[in-house]
């Protein structure tokens, strides 16, 4: 009964096991498509079930003379004879898979004088695809960020456009994601470069193909070639990371400039408000004279027709003088202090002294050099 239950459970698991849509490419670039269950696939490849889980977004591992790679959406298994692309039905991969990958695996466009093993071409094609994707994302973000910053960092603007800030925030998030992906890519390659055994394990044909083994013993070090290949793409990722870092620094500097411009305009508005407050104070101070004449008290002054114009003139003149005085007081306290005065005698004597000191130093150095030359001769 237990045996029957176990067989039934295994049959149930086999029936519900995931099915991979597989794209197979051989050394000549020939392509075949098929679907296969996960259990059947890892048994044919001599792998374990955990090897085809692809838990990490980016990884390069070797198992039983197989290279298991994942570059975000791309899942691949490399053998010395063929390349398997798992779950290839993705809109982001179609152009590369059907138009570029086959020619790269066939060895077209190689710069070396001898043909590299198949796994070299497969690894290089996958790494090139990943770097091109990262480069495309950076090329898309860079002009958008520069255009947004140019619109924001304008000293003539009294306010900041909220829509531009929203665009800059979205681009900043995309830039952070790109920096994270580049960091993971570099760490993945650097982890292999730090271990010579891992580099040796990536050279699959060295242990299966006698011809490749003879080439490695005759002077062509395939492990060194693999190391140079990985270092090349590590440097490309490092260059992209530097460009992304420069964009990040540019965004931070632009934010500082935006804050400085806003503070400057805020100071102008505060100064204008203070000036208007001073003017209001001056008018209200001399407006007391008009209040005094507006009381219902009899005097001999209201009978004179010239008193109105005299009192009005005194009010406006006094208010203007007080406002002018307050503005001059404000200007003296807001202007930056002048640099300390340097006497003309010091200005003339100091450069001469420095010039003489420099000449003496040069003479001493020249004399020392000539003396050492004579001694050597």
How many other C-beta atoms can be found within 10 angstroms of the C-beta atom of residue 206? 21
> Which residue from 299, 346, 56, 331 is spatially nearest to 184, judged by alpha carbons?
56
Per-residue pLDDT tens for 274-294?
888 878 877 777 777 777 777
Per-residue pLDDT tens for 45-86?
888 888 888 877 888 988 888 999 988 888 899 998 889 998
Q: How far apart are CA 53 and CA 117, in angstroms?
A: 27
Q: What's the pLDDT score for residue 230? A: 92
Q: What's the pLDDT score for residue 341? A: 52
DSSP state of 194: T
**Highest mean pLDDT out of 22-36, 85-99, 113-127, 207-221:** 22-36
Q: For residue 101, what are the CA distances in angstroms to 22, 29, 128?
A: 15, 8, 10
Residue 138 has pLDDT above 90, yes or no: yes
What's the number of domains the chain is made of? 2
How many other C-beta atoms can be found within 10 angstroms of the C-beta atom of residue 192? 20
Q: Is 182 a member of any domain?
A: no
Q: Is 316 a member of any domain?
A: yes
Enclosing domain of residue 315: 263-294+308-329
Q: Is 32 a member of any domain?
A: yes
| CATH code, 87 | 2.40.128.330
Residue 24 has pLDDT above 60, yes or no: yes
Q: Is 166 a member of any domain?
A: no
Phi-psi region of 37 (alpha: psi -120 to 50; beta: other; left: phi over 0): beta
Q: Is 253 a member of any domain?
A: no
Q: How far apart are CA 291 and CA 282, in angstroms?
A: 15
Q: What's the pLDDT score for residue 218? A: 59
86: three-class secondary structure by DSSP: strand
127 vs 328, which has greater pLDDT?
127
- Specify the pTM: 0.66
Residue 300 has pLDDT above 80, yes or no: no
Q: Is 314 a member of any domain?
A: yes
Q: What's the pLDDT score for residue 375? A: 44
358 is written with which tokens? 């420099």
Q: Is 334 a member of any domain?
A: no
Which of 97, 127, 145 terminates a domain? The answer is 97
Q: Is 160 a member of any domain?
A: no
Which of 76, 97, 118 terminates a domain? The answer is 97
Which of 75, 97, 119 terminates a domain? The answer is 97
């Amino acid at each position: 009964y237990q045996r029957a239950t176990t067989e039934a459970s295994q049959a149930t698991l086999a029936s519900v096991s995931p099915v991979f849509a597989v794209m197979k490419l051989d050394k000549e670039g020939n392509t075949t498509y098929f679907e296969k269950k996960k259990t059947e696939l890892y048994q044919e490849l001599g792998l374990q079930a955990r090897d085809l889980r692809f838990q990490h977004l980016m990884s390069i591992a070797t198992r039983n003379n197989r290279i298991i790679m994942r570059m975000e959406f791309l899942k691949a298994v490399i053998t010395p004879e063929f390349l398997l692309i798992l779950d290839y039905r993705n809109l982001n991969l179609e152009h590369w898979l059907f138009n570029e990958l086959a020619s790269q695996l066939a060895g077209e466009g190689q710069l070396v004088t001898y043909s590299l093993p198949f796994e070299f071409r497969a690894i290089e094609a996958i790494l090139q695809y990943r770097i091109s994707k990262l480069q495309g994302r950076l090329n898309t973000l860079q002009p958008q960020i520069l255009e947004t910053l140019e619109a924001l960092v304008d000293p003539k603007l009294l306010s900041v456009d909220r829509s531009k800030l929203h665009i800059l925030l979205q681009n900043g998030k995309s830039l952070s994601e790109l920096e994270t992906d580049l960091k993971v890519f570099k760490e993945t390659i650097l982890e292999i470069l730090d271990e010579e055994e891992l580099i040796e394990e990536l050279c699959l044909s060295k242990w299966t193909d006698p011809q490749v083994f003879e080439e490695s013993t005759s002077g062509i070090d395939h492990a060194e070639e693999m190391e140079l290949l990985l270092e090349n793409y590590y440097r490309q990722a490092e260059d992209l990371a530097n460009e992304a870092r420069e964009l990040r620094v540019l965004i931070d500097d632009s934010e500082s400039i935006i804050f400085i411009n806003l503070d400057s305009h805020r100071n102008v508005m505060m100064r204008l408000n203070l000036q208007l407050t001073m003017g209001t104070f001056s008018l209200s101070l001399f407006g007391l004279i008009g209040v005094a004449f507006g009381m219902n008290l009899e005097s001999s002054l209201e009978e004179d027709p010239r008193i109105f114009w005299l009192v009005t003139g005194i009010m406006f003149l006094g208010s203007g003088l007080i406002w002018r005085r307050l503005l001059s007081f404000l200007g003296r306290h807001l202007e930056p202090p002048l640099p300390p005065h340097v006497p003309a005698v010091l200005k003339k004597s100091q450069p001469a002294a420095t010039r003489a000191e420099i000449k003496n130093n040069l003479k001493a150095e020249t004399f020392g050099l000539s003396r050492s030359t004579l001694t050597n001769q």
